[in-house]
A and B are shown apart, each in its own frame.
Chain A
Amino acid sequence: MTDYKSEFLQEAREFVELMNQSFLKLEKGEKSAIDEIFRAVHTIKGMAGFMEFKNLEKFCHKLESTLGQLRGKDVSEEVVDILLSSVDVISEMLNKIESENNDDVDFEQILEKISSIEICKEESDTKKLDLELKDFEDANLKITIKLTEDCQMKGVRGLLILETLKSVCEIRATEPEETKIEGGCDFFIVYAKGDANAIEEALSAVSEIEKFSISEIVKPSAQKTVEVEPKAEKKVESEECELKVEKREVKKSESIRVDIQVLDTIMNLIGELVIIRGRLLQISSKYSISELSEAINIMDKSVTRLQDEVMKLRMVKVERVFNKFPRMVRDLARKLGKKVEFTMEGLDTELDRSVLDEMSDPIMHLIRNAVDHGIESPEERIMAGKSEVGKIKLSAKREKSNVVIEIEDDGKGLDLEKIRKKALEKGLIAENSNLSDEEIKALIFLPGFSTKDAPTEISGRGVGMDVVKTTVERLGGSLKLISEKGKGTKIRIILPPTVAIIKSLLVSVGGQIYAIPLSNVVEAVYVDEKNWKKIHGNPFLLVREKPILAFTLSEIFGCNGGNGRKVGIIVERENEKFALIVDSIIDQQEIVVKPLTGLISKVRGFSGVTILGDGTVVPIVDVSSLLGGDRFG
């Protein structure tokens, strides 16, 4: 059984996710969402039963029957609250199953709440039952008939059965209706008044019936049972259909689950292959054996394709992470007494799985911030002449070779004065420092900065804006903050779609080759006497008359730079430009990033290494940490 546990948990969690989304749809009035929820609960119940987690099974069962009664009805916010918290109970059970292998979670309280939903709904249900019952009130038998699979002319057979039955009893109702049976169906139910033995005898004279059963309908006290039975029967049938549909879908996409670690290993191996390919290319050009170079050319193409395909494998839709946000925003807004309309765009934008996973928490933090700090209370909003409902938009889109994620709200925007004061208090800036608006905005990204005096339950979770920024930069991306007081805040995150293979500029410094990620590079200019200036002792490179602070890499790395004309690589970091002075540019190429591990993993200034075709190990410059204060801490 333990073999299945991880699969069970994974799938169950997917269903929990689906339920969260569907409940929100339901709240918005999409009544069909309840069917999806129903299916999810039912599947979890089935799986739990198989795995012998009794509490979970019982809880799902209860939830299922309640949901059944909500079908086709309008559902209030309060009911959705209860239902959402019941989804949380399921999650909690799943967590407990994962960590302790049992599902002992107290769910009595929530069960009571769920039951309270039922009571107010029950009345209308019984009325409906009565109506449906009238047609076959005096039926005493329920006959179910299933035709054989190879039955020829099912409609004719159905008619023959009905005619045969009519000769021995009185048919009160059928399911489906008679015309449908005559149209041909494998399975049907007949409610009739008559003698069971006679019916049995008559039916046994009809061929191509796989099986039939005749049961007495128990009458007097419980009219309900009459109805309940066929209903249960119907359910089984429709579930069968659903199951079939599901299977077909699986067949169509023919997908399998793969552990992300396996993908990483494959990616690594392909990285090695790419390096070897480079070596072989070099060797073949050295010896110029035509057969060899032909073979290598073919291999070259295959490896390139293989690399592309594996990169695609790693891509997942942002939906995977984004989908949990609507529920979060809803709960948060309700808790804070704010009204928020949360929209998402570009859900099918694809991003490398590891990038997306890393970004999950930062994006969540930004959205929390938007709800907590950005959007004002309804009263404040009305005072400010805005609509009572605040808007938050989360979007993802592909822009050239990057993926852009934006979080936008129409709240109160950043209060620059407040930020400045706070930074002063925390000793992050000096009393007399004269900062531009942009510089003040940048302050919120400093570690240990928070404008709320007492962090609320929501925002005090350890992930600060500084973590958001460092995560984005570590992934080779950049972050921009646009905010206008009273109008709102927009945070724009630009990410490379993948981290494993990047485009880079190979440069030479003191005879050693270094790689600079192209995502950081703005432009490159030759250094000469005219554009090289020293201002207050600091070197600057003039680019189109604008001074840019310059860093000579040979000095930073402590080696002797080469002679001759140097090149200034202009890089961008947090809206600021810097010039890195190198000896020369060698090439521009795609490199496979190998992360630094062990002792050297803490070296700042480098994000990893790569191996070139000839086997040379090349450090990859991490612009952000290279220029970030304590260089080799």
Chain B
Amino acid sequence: MVKVLIVDDTAFMRKLLKNILFSAGFDIAGEAENGKQAVELYKQLKPDVVTMDIVMPEMNGIEALKEIKKIDPNAKVVMCTAVGQEQMVKTAIKLGAKGYIVKPFQAPKVVEELKKVAKV
């Protein structure tokens, strides 16, 4: 089973993603509500895929991505983005993000993206 780490500062979004991914057969390894927590949890949990929100307190998604890549250059991070944030996603991709999902989430798209990135 593919282990997923969900990173988002709103509980609602985390719950939403959790539901989508859980019903698609992913193992929800853990949840983080900011970048700093995400980096910590990544070290501990060694998830297969991370869904990373971009705008978050403490440490944003881009910074967290950089840190995670330092720990594990092969880390598979999927950015969570919204219309208007294209530039930031592009930056993330240049930094090694492997995919992106667009809010509002469409369940099939989210599942497809994560399955592809995790190579299931």
Name A residues whose Cβ lies closer than 8 Å to a Cβ of B.
Answer: 152-153, 155-156, 159-160, 163-164, 182, 204-208
Q: B117–A156 contact, CB under 8 A?
A: no
Contacts of B97 in A (CB 8 A): 160
**Do the beta carbons of B93 and A163 come within 8 Å of each other?**
yes
A155 CA / B117 CA spacing, docked (Å): 18
Residue-by-residue, is B9-45 near A (CB-CB < 8 Å gives 1, otherwise 0)? 0000000000000000000000000000000000000
Does B93 lie within 8 Å of A205, measured CB to CB? no
Within 8 A of A (CB), among B94-120: 94, 97-100, 102, 109, 112-113, 116-117, 119
Which of B94, B99, B119 has the most CB atoms of chain A within a 10 A radius of its CB?
A: B99
B86 within 8 A of A: yes
B52 contacts A by Cβ under 8 Å: no
| Contact status of A207 and B99, CB under 8 A, knowing A152-B109, A163-B93, A163-B94 | yes
Nearest-neighbour CB distance to chain B for A492, whole angstroms, equals 66
Which residues of B are found within 8 Å of A206, using beta-carbon distances?
A: 99, 116
Output the least CB separation between B85 and chain A (Å). Answer: 9
Q: Given A205-B116, A205-B119, A206-B99, are A159 and B109 neighbors across the interface (CB < 8 Å)? A: no
Closest Cβ of chain A to B51, distance in Å, is: 14
Minimum distance in angstroms from B66 CB to a CB of chain A: 15
Query: What residue in chain A is nearest B98 (Cβ atoms)?
Result: A205
Q: Is the CB of B90 within 8 A of A182?
A: yes
* Contact status of A153 and B102, CB under 8 A, knowing A159-B93, A160-B93, A163-B93: yes
Roughly how many angstroms separate A155 CA and B116 CA in the complex, as a whole number? 19
Q: How many whole Å from A285's CB to the nearest CB in chain B?
A: 71
CB-CB nearest in chain B for A209: B116
Looking across the interface, which residue of chain A has its beta carbon closest to that of B101? A152
Given known contacts A156-B86, A204-B119, what 11 new A-B pairs fall within 8 Å (CB)?
A152-B109, A153-B81, A153-B100, A159-B94, A160-B93, A160-B97, A160-B98, A205-B98, A205-B119, A207-B99, A208-B109
Known: A153-B86, A159-B93. A204 touches B102 (CB 8 A): no
Can you sample 9 A-B contacts with CB below 8 Å? A152-B109, A156-B93, A159-B90, A159-B93, A160-B98, A205-B117, A207-B99, A208-B109, A208-B113
State in angstroms the CA–CA spacing of A159 and B79 once bound together.
14
Closest to A182 in B: B90
Q: How far is the CA of A207 from the CA of B110 in the complex (A)?
A: 10
Query: How many B residues have CB within 8 A of the partner chain?
Result: 18
Judge whether A207 and B112 touch: CB under 8 Å.
yes
Which residues from chain A contact B117 at a C-beta distance below 8 Å?
A: 205, 207
- Give Cα A205 to B119, complex, Å: 6
Interface centre among A152, A164, A204 (most CB of B within 10 A): A152
B64 at the interface (CB under 8 A from A): no
Q: CB-nearest residue of chain B relative to A161? A: B93
Asked if B89 lies at the interface with its beta carbon under 8 angstroms from chain A, I say yes
Question: Which of B83, B93, B116 sits near A207, CB closer than 8 Å?
Answer: B116
A207-B98 Cα distance, complex, nearest whole Å: 10
Q: Which chain B residue has the least Cβ–Cβ distance from A167?
A: B96
Task: Please measure, in the bound complex, the distance between the C-alpha atom of A208 and the C-alpha atom of B100, giving whole angstroms.
Answer: 11
Q: Which residues of A contact B102 (CB under 8 A)?
A: 152-153
Given A160-B93, A163-B93, A163-B94, A155 and B113 contact (CB-CB distance below 8 Å): no
Cα(A208)–Cα(B116), bound, Å:
10
Beyond A163-B93, A182-B90, whether A156 also contacts B100 by CB under 8 A is yes
Determine the distance from Cα of A361 to Cα of B98 in the docked complex, in whole angstroms: 72
Min CB–CB distance A157 → chain B (angstroms): 8
With a cutoff of 8 Å between Cβ atoms, the chain A residues found around residue B83 in the complex are: 153
Neighbouring B residues of A164 by C-beta, 8 Å:
98
Docked-complex contact B100 and A160, CB < 8 angstroms: yes
- B86–A160 touching, CB < 8 Å: no
Query: Which residue in chain A gives the minimum CB-CB distance to B116?
Result: A207
Closest to A153 in B: B86
Q: Complex Cα distance A206/B116, Å?
A: 6
Residue of B nearest to A155 (CB): B86
Measured CB to CB, the nearest residue on chain B to A206 is: B116
Q: Note all chain B residues with C-beta closer than 8 A to A156.
A: 81, 86, 89-90, 93, 100
Residues of B within 8 A of A207 (CB): 99, 109, 112-113, 116-117
Query: How far apart are the CA atoms of A160 and B99 in the complex, in Å?
Result: 7
